[in-house]
Amino acid sequence: MAQKNHSLQVVVGIGLILTAGCDWLRPGGPPDEAQVEISSADVSQLTVVVSQHFERFQEPVCAGDPECPTTESVISADTIVVSSPYSNTFEFNDRYQIIVETFPVDEVQAVVHLKVDIDGREWFDVEQLLGPVTEDGERDSLRFVYQYHDLQAANPGPGGP
């Protein structure tokens, strides 16, 4: 009889773990944070723009085509001047998205390094030579865009939630 109770306890324990910890057992899921590191040996100050509220869309003429370029429309952002090197952790809100863009404060050519980890996994690690503002008013910048989509929740299909 003791053996049956022990087996029942194991089965109930596993059932509770499966029910309460579905997100823990299932790979993926919404991220918690983004760790951002920005540095430059060429300049001491960098402008950093961070947005966690933006919309992404494709041009109407080619929407749906995987080759169609995607554009971000920033709804709100914070712009700060930081000393190099800079590091910060950004907690995700319910939108699970972030844009990080950086460029030198001074109008000079500089190599800038931007690294972004999402929940401890490297997503972006780029070092690039950025130029000053051109005659056309264009500026080189280093930009990272991330947006999480739970495809299962967006289209649950038959028997879904």
Q: Is residue 14 part of a domain?
A: yes
Q: Is 40 exposed, middle or buried (0-12, 13-18, 19+ CB in 10 A)?
A: buried
**Quick one: pLDDT at residue 151?**
53
Q: Is residue 137 part of a domain?
A: yes
How far, in Å, are 58, 64, 97 from residue 67 at the CA level?
10, 9, 22
Q: Which domain holds residue 16?
A: 1-29
Q: Is residue 159 part of a domain?
A: no
SS3 of 26-78: the string is CCCCCCCEEEEEEECCCCCEEEEEEEEEEEEEECCCCCCCCCCCEEEEEEEEE
Q: Is residue 161 part of a domain?
A: no
Tell me, yes or no, whether 23 and 38 share the same domain: no
DSSP states along 101-130? EEEESSSS-EEEEEEEEETTEEEEEEEEEE
**Quick one: pLDDT at residue 149?**
77
- Give CA–CA dist 19/40, Å, rounded: 48
Tell me, yes or no, whether 18 and 44 share the same domain: no
**Quick one: pLDDT at residue 119?**
95
Tell me, yes or no, whether 16 and 41 share the same domain: no
Q: Which helix (H) or strand (E) holds 155?
A: none
Taking only the tens of pLDDT, the chain with its 161 residues reads: 555 444 444 343 444 333 333 344 345 689 999 999 999 999 999 999 999 998 888 888 888 888 888 888 888 999 999 999 999 999 999 889 999 999 999 999 999 999 999 999 999 999 999 999 888 888 999 999 999 976 554 444 343 33
